[in-house]
């Protein structure tokens, strides 16, 4: 395009700035709402114990060579025997774990709360932006961009002739939605800034299987070759003492 579009300054004052301010305010508000709704969940007995078992088994694997062979073998049997070993997971149970998690009403409730605090304000603001500010150009970025950015920056404008460096109001909303994370971490403190992209990642992480850690640890323990390190220490002690005495 040869001639530039001239943007009304009223657009800046009544669209661009209000939109950004509203997005920030909504982010802050949502943070406080989710803080109110967060239930302090006490950890499940099984999960606590499994975590501890894994730590202890890992210690055993790492320090195996420091205890006598007999003690090591006793511990290995204790951890990984097929009847009631701590790390042994019965086959049927392993598959059920996920289903169990879904059937747990508390967990579902928590997920609901988390999602509600994310989805409701998002739909509302999107509807608001769509209703009031749809279909026009709100800003111009000061450098040229390639055609591929058109769908990102000119959402809501179906004109292929407009230069890509113009930003539509709806796209400005999206940019704000995903780009305000740094600002939130400034306002709300480092760890409190939870933007939507992160939450979405958390969502997809749901469905993780806690029994996997146990069986992985069991496999690791099964292949440990025990070689008592202590006989070597006698020679090392001799060397140390010889150095000390001489």
Partner 1 sequence: MVSKTDEAQVNRLENQVDNGGGGAWEYLCLVRKLKLRRSDKVLKHGLSILNDPKKRSSLGPDEWTLYEQVAIAAMDCQCLDVAKDCIKTLQKRFLESKRVGRLEAMLLEAKGSWAEAEKAYTSLLEDNPFDQVIHKRRAAMAKAQGNILGAIEWLNKYLEIFMADHDAWRELAEIYVSLQMYKQAAFCYEELILSQPTNPLYHLAYADVLYTLGGLENIQAAKKYYASTVDLTGGKNTRALLGICLCTSAMGQLTKGRNKEDKESPELQILAATALERDYKQRAPTKLSLLTSTLRSLKL
Closest approach of partner 1 to the CB of residue 58, in Å = 9
Residue closer to partner 1 (CB basis): 42 or 161: 42
Q: Tell me the two tokens of residue 81.
A: 């025997």
| Dihedral of the alpha carbons of 185, 191, 194, 199, in degrees to the nearest 10 | 150
**Binding positions for partner 1, rule: CB under 8 A:** 42-43, 45, 48-49, 52-53, 55-56, 59-60, 62-64, 66-68, 71, 230-231, 233-234, 236-238, 240-242, 244-245
Q: Tell me the two tokens of residue 7.
A: 């943007």
Residue closer to partner 1 (CB basis): 53 or 111: 53
Closest approach of partner 1 to the CB of residue 64, in Å = 8
Closest approach of partner 1 to the CB of residue 226, in Å = 12
Closest approach of partner 1 to the CB of residue 191, in Å = 17
Closest approach of partner 1 to the CB of residue 183, in Å = 25
In 3-state terms, what secondary structure has residue 98? helix
Helix H segments across the chain? 9-11, 17-37, 45-63, 69-80, 91-103, 105-133, 150-153, 169-179, 181-188, 196-205, 210-222, 230-245
Place of tokens 């988390």: 114
Residue closer to partner 1 (CB basis): 40 or 160: 40
Residue closer to partner 1 (CB basis): 102 or 233: 233
C-alpha pair distances (Å), 97 with each of 84, 101, 111, 212, 237: 18, 6, 17, 10, 50
Question: Would you list the DSSP string of 160-224?
Answer: SSS-TTEEEHHHHHHHHHHH-HHHHHHHH-GGG---HHHHHHHHHH-S--HHHHHHHHHHHHHTP
DSSP state, residue 67:
S
Residue closer to partner 1 (CB basis): 127 or 237: 237
Closest approach of partner 1 to the CB of residue 195, in Å = 27
Residue closer to partner 1 (CB basis): 208 or 233: 233
């Amino acid at each position: 395009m040869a001639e530039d579009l001239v943007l009304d300054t009223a657009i800046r004052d009544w669209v661009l700035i209000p939109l950004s301010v509203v997005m920030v305010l909504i982010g802050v508000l949502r943070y406080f709402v989710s803080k109110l709704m967060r239930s302090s969940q006490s950890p499940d007995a099984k999960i606590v114990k499994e975590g501890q078992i894994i730590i202890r088994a890992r210690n055993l694997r790492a320090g195996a060579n420091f205890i006598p062979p007999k003690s090591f073998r006793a511990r290995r049997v204790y951890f990984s025997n097929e009847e009631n070993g701590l790390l042994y997971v019965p086959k049927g149970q392993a598959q059920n774990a996920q289903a169990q998690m879904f059937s747990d009403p508390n967990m579902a409730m928590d997920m609901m709360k988390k999602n509600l605090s994310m989805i409701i304000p998002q739909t509302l603001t999107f509807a608001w932006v769509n209703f009031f500010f749809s279909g026009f150009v709100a800003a111009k970025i000061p450098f040229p961009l390639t055609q591929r950015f058109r769908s990102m920056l000119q959402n809501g404008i179906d004109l292929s002739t407009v230069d890509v460096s113009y930003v539509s109001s709806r796209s400005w909303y999206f940019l704000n939605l995903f780009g305000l994370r740094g600002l939130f971490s400034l306002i709300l403190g480092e760890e409190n800034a939870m933007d939507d992209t992160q939450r979405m990642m958390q969502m997809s992480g749901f469905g993780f299987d806690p029994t996997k850690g146990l069986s992985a640890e069991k496999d690791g323990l099964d292949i440990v070759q025990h070689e008592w390190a202590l006989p070597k220490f006698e020679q090392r002690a001799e060397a140390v003492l010889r150095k000390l005495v001489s």
